A and B are shown apart, each in its own frame.
Chain A
């Protein structure tokens, strides 16, 4: 039975976390000359996440990560009843670049039998256009024997975006169009406030673009919201959600992660049009290609 449950949700977790090292936000440096002395900043330390107790057969749990991982951590995630991982494949650091650590993480997740989705945290202030950033991700994965079927684009943290909503919309359009040219399913990781701030509540995105929304009351275990979609309200062009991130900055299997739920549907549509499935022959001949994405929300 082919592993159809490659659900890779990339939860571009809100880069609102102060300790998100991938953020290109300006943070106070000791040598900065500021009038306010002794500026203090909150630090959130990741605490262990509650265990997954899933009484509802219609929801499955996932984590999203942007740090390197080991095989044993992935095995641990699987044992901890997470069904999938969202791995960041593109980092906004500098001008934005393919996240090379994603290759190992994807391979580790695959060997652990986890569903895999890929997300990108684009760099809207870069000289690289949207489609060029998508290309870097696409080519980076393909060059490492990983076939990507869907991509999730992080649209959070207004402070990291341009002030002009139109500019941001054009940037996103460039990524989305390119992804569709490659035949990828496209999803957006965002929420109503982010979407309003960054895109001016853009409402004419095509309806085949999926939504992964987030809602927490704060970072850490005390900031979780229920692992359900009850707090979802339609916004922009999004009438429904496929995934929800309900917890941020928690520790699972010694990894700092964010936690997500998604509705388990019938994973038929994506697989039926995909011919890159693993066969026993592929595996035994060591000629396999890892396929990521393409299951959620279809």
Chain B
């Protein structure tokens, strides 16, 4: 009996890609205001002798099978795929289905994250419902969801309202039997929720810390810079690099504790999204 190694990747939080998530400012053409852009450079290679951390990427663009095979070859164990697009009122990201199917074929672990739209007409739980319905319709079984809580400028200046919004998603996830995690940083959490500290200790954490975008802005690929905040005393995943290219696509890079690494491909032939990060699979 083959040892099932399920790589649990929580597609946590959409990386704090403030440049990519934020709606571009409307610039008055009469102003000589210029904004600098980060150009993605090739990422360093994944080390070959990892002790306890496994590498992952998070992506929000549709990705081909050959790109994902390349990613697997390059030493990444999982991908976090964005399943919700915040543009407008927010919507299920249909391109995620293709990426997930390709990742499955490439033998990568798969987690999904959502970049919610906190100023939408749709409540938090409705946005999560869209994801679950959208993926289930394509025969993808959702086991976990990661909620992006970054980029304060995209959130209302009302902590209570933000907390209720996030809680709506978290509660719905629990009702649906999903593991739920938050992608954020201590600063984002402070800004957006004023340090909300009792979201529930079943909620996992994916945190980020970079000095800047790009290769020169990476922090070490470990959890040494984690400090407790909110209700979290330990993280599950860390995003340590932003805006780099791997196998021709622009990604952010992550590490998580390898721990019980299970094979990404379930033997039952079903595609699962989520439920791979340590402690997140509800047995």
Contact = CB atoms under 8 A, between A and B. Distances in A.
Interface string A147-177: 0000000000111110111100110000000
A204 B33 contact: yes
Contact of B194 (A28, A158, A165, A198): A28
Contacts of A163: 153
Nearest to B32: A204
Contacts of A28: 159-160, 194
A234 B157 CA distance: 29
Please classify how large the interface on chain B is, using the bins under 10, 10 to 19, 20 to 34, 35 or more. Answer: 35 or more
Contacts of B163: 34, 36, 39
Given A161-B153, A233-B211, A233-B216, A166 B26 contact: yes
A232 B32 CA distance: 27
Nearest to A24: B157
Interface of A is mostly: loop
Contact of B152 (A158, A201, A202): A158
A234 B214 CA distance: 12
Contact of A196 (B19, B32, B159): B19
Contacts of A165: 25, 35
Nearest to B231: A40
A56 interface: no
Interface in A187-204: 192-193, 196-204
B25 A26 contact: no
Interface string B151-194: 11101011110011001000000000000000000110011101
B227 A222 contact: yes
Contacts of A166: 25-28, 31, 33
Interface in B212-252: 212, 216-217, 225-231
Given A17-B190, A41-B195, A201 B35 contact: yes
B22 interface: yes
B167 A36 contact: yes
B197 interface: yes
Nearest to A162: B153
A27 B228 contact: no
A217 interface: yes
B16 interface: yes
A51 interface: no
B195 A18 contact: yes
B115 to A, nearest CB: 15
A14 interface: yes
B159 A25 contact: yes
Nearest to A234: B212
B24 interface: yes
B217 A233 contact: yes
Interface in A8-43: 14, 16-18, 25-28, 32, 34-36, 38-42
A233 B212 contact: yes
B216 A25 contact: no
Contacts of B33: 166, 169, 202, 204
A146 to B, nearest CB: 33
Given A164-B25, A236-B36, A158 B225 contact: no
Contacts of B16: 193
Nearest to B16: A193
Contact of B229 (A36, A215, A218): A218
B34 interface: yes
Contacts of B280: none
Interface of B: 16, 18-19, 22, 24-28, 31-37, 151-153, 155, 157-160, 163-164, 167, 186-187, 190-192, 194-198, 209, 211-212, 216-217, 225-231
8 contacts: A14-B187, A25-B157, A25-B194, A34-B160, A36-B163, A40-B196, A159-B157, A218-B228
Given A16-B191, A202-B35, A233-B212, 11 more contacts: A18-B194, A25-B157, A28-B159, A35-B164, A36-B163, A42-B197, A157-B191, A158-B191, A159-B153, A204-B34, A217-B209
